[in-house]
Structure 1
Amino acid sequence: MNSAAPRPAVSVVVPCFNEQDALPEFLRRACSVLDGIGVTSELVLVDDGSRDRTWDVLAEAAARDSRIVAVRLMRNHGHQLALTAGLSVCRGERILIIDADLQDPPELLVDMMRMMDEGADVVYGQRRQRDGESLFKRATAAAFYRLIGRLTDVQIPPDAGDFRLVTRRVLDLLLAMPERHRFIRGMVAWIGGRQVPLVYDRHARVAGESKYPLAKMIRFAADAITSFSVVPLMLSMTIGWIMAGLGFCFFLYSIVGWLNGHTMPGWTSLMAAVGLLGGMQFLMLGVIGAYLGRLYDQSKGRPLFMIRDIVGGPK
């Protein structure tokens, strides 16, 4: 790839993990959209350590179309870091972030471009309907957005994923943030500027299966909360004061009973108190450990991602 080539007007950045079945249709539709907008463009696709033929599909596409840049990471880094790798490689003045599963229609780029022409710094897709997702997935997603809205001072739009169009200025500010545990939609919201929604209906996956099972969703939510809120830490202190107050009251109750000569069997109440206090202590230590673990990871200063190959782009 020639880094001295003129900067394209639009870059489309796509993290991919085991998307061999979805990529042909995605590439067809995305290239059709880029053909129709009438400006210079590039399509940056990142293979995040896929175990299927994703890289072969990307390399073949890059050989056919000079607009396509295929990036292969050394191993699987996860969606947010793979996306960061693609954002670091892309060169466009405007950058569309989208996944390869076609749940977010690439055709909406036309409307996003128009809204950015009217002065928006960020145009983010806000889901009105989520086809192909279970009731549990929709309910937990809604609960997550409501929870993080209450825990953080940053106004993170509800029902909005990473699907968005950003300006180069916003992207440069985003790339300047060194966080390892990244929550990109929250980081973009934190930057500020004029951010406007584009309401749309989210489609079912065109092929393959979700890359966010329950365990990954929980880790992603933990990264989001610990990245943008210290409320859990403050809550642990509040609970600590409450438990200390309850313990002190129990102590006074025991002393008064002893002074009045009452016999106190004590075993059940003592074990209940010890169990409650011990359980709360371990819970709060876990909260503190989550923050310390992220500080430890950050302090090592290792690269956020490692790129193995980049093929395609202007010669």
Structure 2
Amino acid sequence: MTKHLSVVLPVHNEEKNIEHLYNELKESLKGIDYELVFVDDGSVDRSYFIMEQIASHNTHVKVVKLLSNYGQSTALAAGCDHATGENIVTMDSDLQHDPKDIISLIEPLSKGYHVVCGWRRKRGDSFVKKGMPSRFANFLVNKMLGIKLHDSVGGMKAFTRRVVEVVPMYGDMHRYLPVLAKWKGFRITERPVKVRERRAGKTHYKFNRLFKGFLDLMTVKFFISYSTRPFHIFAKIGFVSFMIGFCIGLYYVILKVFFGVYLMQEIASLILSVMLIVLGINFICFGFIADMISFDAISSKKRKVYLVEKVV
């Protein structure tokens, strides 16, 4: 049976928050046809046991237990794969996202929008540890990818089923889902959401996620610009390498043939010239091969990157 709304919640060691979160969700979603999809991402505490107990007494709750800790993007992908809702909301399970915001978040979906980002306008968590890095990340996303949102990298989002069927989620790509969705032609907007202080447990946020996030941002930039035609980027690199090598070689040939000038570094420079020309040709050929691989990948079947141990 298809539910109107699926709320996907990745969980990793949140035993002190799950029951309270469930009660808040149940209260906030009264009168709505919904399901809750908890995804246990390799928790080592009692998180799965608590979720299993909740699911055994409530038909609105589904628990997906992953075999290992795959990371948030993969957990979200697993949850979306097992969700049956026409619309999907993703949110954190640490109680920092307020379930009361779900109703306002999904409202634009009924007006033709496909993705709604939760704009963390007022934050209850640490500005230095989370607020400032998030603002910097949003600044980079807006500048590099040309998206005009206050907050596109937050964890609380709403989107239609069609979006997750089209947009891939791996690595930390869930943060850039709005950007990838916009690139695919989906309509995106945002709504203000609250960010509360963590009620219990420890944050899983680490500053090295900034570096990983930047690498993923570069991947998204490359993906958007060249995913369907990788030949373009390799051809540019190859052409530059070829022209530098050609110009170096031509310079020394002109000196030798027309002016009779012989330089000691001529041999080494000519070798460098030939290497750059060959490298340029290789890049161009590699671009052709990458184009063929890309074409084949586009038509291939989507492959899952996780293993499910149990679904209850």
TM-score scaled by length of structure 2: 0.71
Is residue 97–residue 165 contact of structure 1 (8 Å, CA) maintained in 2? Answer: yes
How many corresponding residue pairs? 293
CA contact (8 A) 1:180 1:297 kept: no
Gaps (5+ residues) in structure 1? 150-154
Q: How does 1:92-171 map to 2 (within 5 A)?
A: 92-118=85-111, 120-128=113-121, 131=127, 132-133=129-130, 135-136=132-133, 138-149=135-146, 157=149, 159-161=151-153, 163-166=156-159, 170-171=160-161
- Letter of the 1:139 partner, please give it: F
Q: Which residue of 1 aligns with 2:78?
A: 85
The separation in 2 between residues aligned to 1:142 and 1:215, in whole angstroms, is 15
Q: Which has the higher contact order (CA 8 A, sep 6+)?
A: 1
Deviations 1:69-89 (A, max 9, x none): 211123334333322221222
1:213 aligned residue: 209
Call closer, same or farther: CA 1:68–1:219 in 2, change over 3 Å. Answer: farther
Aligned to 1:241: 239
C-alpha distance in 2, partners of 1:194/1:296? Answer: 26
Gaps of 5+ in 2: none
Out of 193, 211, 225, the residue aligned to residue 221 of structure 2 is 225
Q: Would the aligned equivalents of 2:119 and 2:193 in 1 still touch at CA under 8 Å?
A: yes
**Superposition map of 1:163-312 within 5 A:** 163-166=156-159, 170-171=160-161, 173-177=162-166, 179=168, 181=170, 184-190=177-183, 192=185, 194-200=187-193, 202=195, 207-210=202-205, 213-214=209-210, 216-218=212-214, 220-230=216-226, 233-259=231-257, 260-266=259-265, 270=269, 277=276, 302-311=303-312
TM-score of the superposed pair, with normalisation by structure 1: 0.70
CA 205–296 in structure 1, closer or farther in 2 if over 3 Å, else same:
farther
Identity of aligned residues (%): 23
What letter matches 1:32 in structure 2? E
CA–CA separation in structure 1 for the residues paired with 2:209 and 2:157: 23
* Mapped partners of 1:121, 1:241: distance in 2: 40
Q: Alpha-carbon deviations, 1:282-308, whole Å to 9, x = none?
A: xx79x9799969977996864443322
Superposed CA RMSD in Å reads 4.4
SS in 2 for 1:84: helix
User: In 2, distance between residues paired with 1:147 and 1:273?
Assistant: 34
Quote how far apart the aligned CAs of 1:44 are. 0.9
User: In 2 relative to 1, CA 15–136 (structure 1 residues): closer, same or farther, beyond 3 Å?
Assistant: closer
How far 1:203 moved relative to its partner?
5.1
Letter in 2 for 1:258: K
